[in-house]
Chain A
């Protein structure tokens, strides 16, 4: 099958900072693809390169076979973009925002009218179409940006953290639109949320420091973690003391604490015995084996701590 997107050895430097380094990727048509990574990993930079906003320092990027540097106009005809930060025109009403988009894409007035009615319906903004985006909640603004990206029926849709800052209900709503679009286009999204990538995407790449770390389906990524044993351990008392102890063991690969409960990843089954011997059973309330989540994969691969 042909690729909707390809990145070939793409590098992007900003002065001394290398935001993306020797990054290669092929995304098959019709997939929902997620790029995961902590803050500053280079996700937005990759989207900006693919949407013709930034020139790569080296390497080539193609969208539906067109080179983003030399055939930018053809690329832009085919893409819809939801940027990380909403960039709606606050001096235009919701409907006018969509109309301007249709015009910039050279759509005929009758067709744009029909399409815009349809999209306003889809994102639930029909009743507010003559209001200015400033008067919208964050979720409504986000939905409007998504609608704007869809006006011209793009073949590839880019969504940079589409649900950041939304409440669970609005997140689900956005997921639903994304799911419903799946058949007609290729979707490229970035996110910090594991559950989002897990729920929506056919394929996931985790990146950090401008490089890809792993590539696969959510299921495959979790499988990679199967050898890593994730346990939940709850204490009755003295959680502070145990935290220091757990942190000191060489076979504890990662450790996260919420209240009295620790989530720890051990190097292997054989580590369980020395662990239990060391901490004893006096204060343990609960111990259980967990199925690794994508979050565990993420933390395992990008380092224990969240970088600043």
Chain B
């Protein structure tokens, strides 16, 4: 079962290995910029947030953000590229593997990109700054990263499957993905929202992701409701991505 998916994932990892260093360098640049600009540039203006210094508050969100947006980017662009540019999806489709193998292999590849790049950013923030967390908190945090990367990888796969023009994928990133990430607890706590809309914001899965992962990493406590929202979203996104790919590709 899923040997085909494994072969495709393997191919993606071989390609990633060839450019691993530049990929990681590129992905570390932007969260590090945010960290330095907001964390240190605004240091004098921002007091502690939720009981911790702003640089500490922001770090988990930046790591999570890197992981999930890398998962989305990789899945969306890779699916689009293999479908529209290189047409390798078609080459895969005339071999005995199934469409499920293809889409699952691609989702796992996006997920792996996300996880690796998240770890890279975490390592850099850890090395370059005084940011430290308890090792025991990592397991819980990882659960959030895994679920988040999975959701975003599936969303990316859906975009890469449905959208034929590259500029449309760019627009989805700018109009949907970025706001979704920025508005849900990376740079400020959800408690900052007016009470009237806080309820809605809390219901968005990305809030569960960013709030839940921050608390998991900084305080070591797991929010069951948030984890449940994410697990459910991941299941729905996965089923949706597989079904959409299946329908679109069979014409």
Tell me the bound Cα distance from A51 to B91 in angstroms: 11
Secondary structure dominating the interface of B: helix
**A195 interface residue per 8 A CB criterion:** no
Q: Identify which of A88, A89, A105 contacts B96 (C-beta below 8 A).
A: A105
Tell me the bound Cα distance from A148 to B87 in angstroms: 15
Tell me the bound Cα distance from A101 to B11 in angstroms: 11
Contact B87 A87 (CB under 8 A): yes
Q: With contacts A89-B86, A91-B15 known, is A105 near B95, CB below 8 A?
A: yes
Contact B96 A77 (CB under 8 A): yes
Interface size on A, residues (CB 8 A): 26
> A1-60: which residues lie under 8 A (CB-CB) from chain B?
51-55
Looking across the interface, which residue of chain A has its beta carbon closest to that of B85? A90
Contact B88 A76 (CB under 8 A): no
**A165 to B: closest C-beta gap in Å:** 16
Interface size on B, residues (CB 8 A): 22
Residues of A contacting B14 with CB < 8 Å?
92, 96
Q: Identify which of B15, B92, B250 contacts A104 (C-beta below 8 A).
A: B92
Contact B96 A106 (CB under 8 A): yes
Q: With contacts A87-B87, A91-B15, A103-B7 known, is A51 near B94, CB below 8 A?
A: yes
Binary interface profile of B, 1-23, with partner A (CB < 8 Å = 1, else 0)? 00110010011001100100000
**A185 interface residue per 8 A CB criterion:** no
Looking across the interface, which residue of chain A has its beta carbon closest to that of B95? A104
Residues of B contacting A96 with CB < 8 Å?
14
Binary interface profile of A, 75-86, with partner B (CB < 8 Å = 1, else 0)? 011010101010
Tell me the bound Cα distance from A301 to B241 in angstroms: 47
Looking across the interface, which residue of chain A has its beta carbon closest to that of B87? A87
Pick the 5 closest A-B CB pairs, nearest first.
A87-B87, A104-B95, A103-B7, A81-B94, A91-B15
Residue positions of B touching A, CB distance < 8 A:
3-4, 7, 10-11, 14-15, 18, 86-88, 90-98, 250-251
User: With contacts A89-B86, A89-B91, A96-B14 known, what are 11 further pairs, Cβ within 8 A?
Assistant: A52-B93, A55-B250, A73-B96, A76-B95, A76-B96, A79-B94, A83-B87, A88-B88, A105-B95, A105-B96, A148-B91
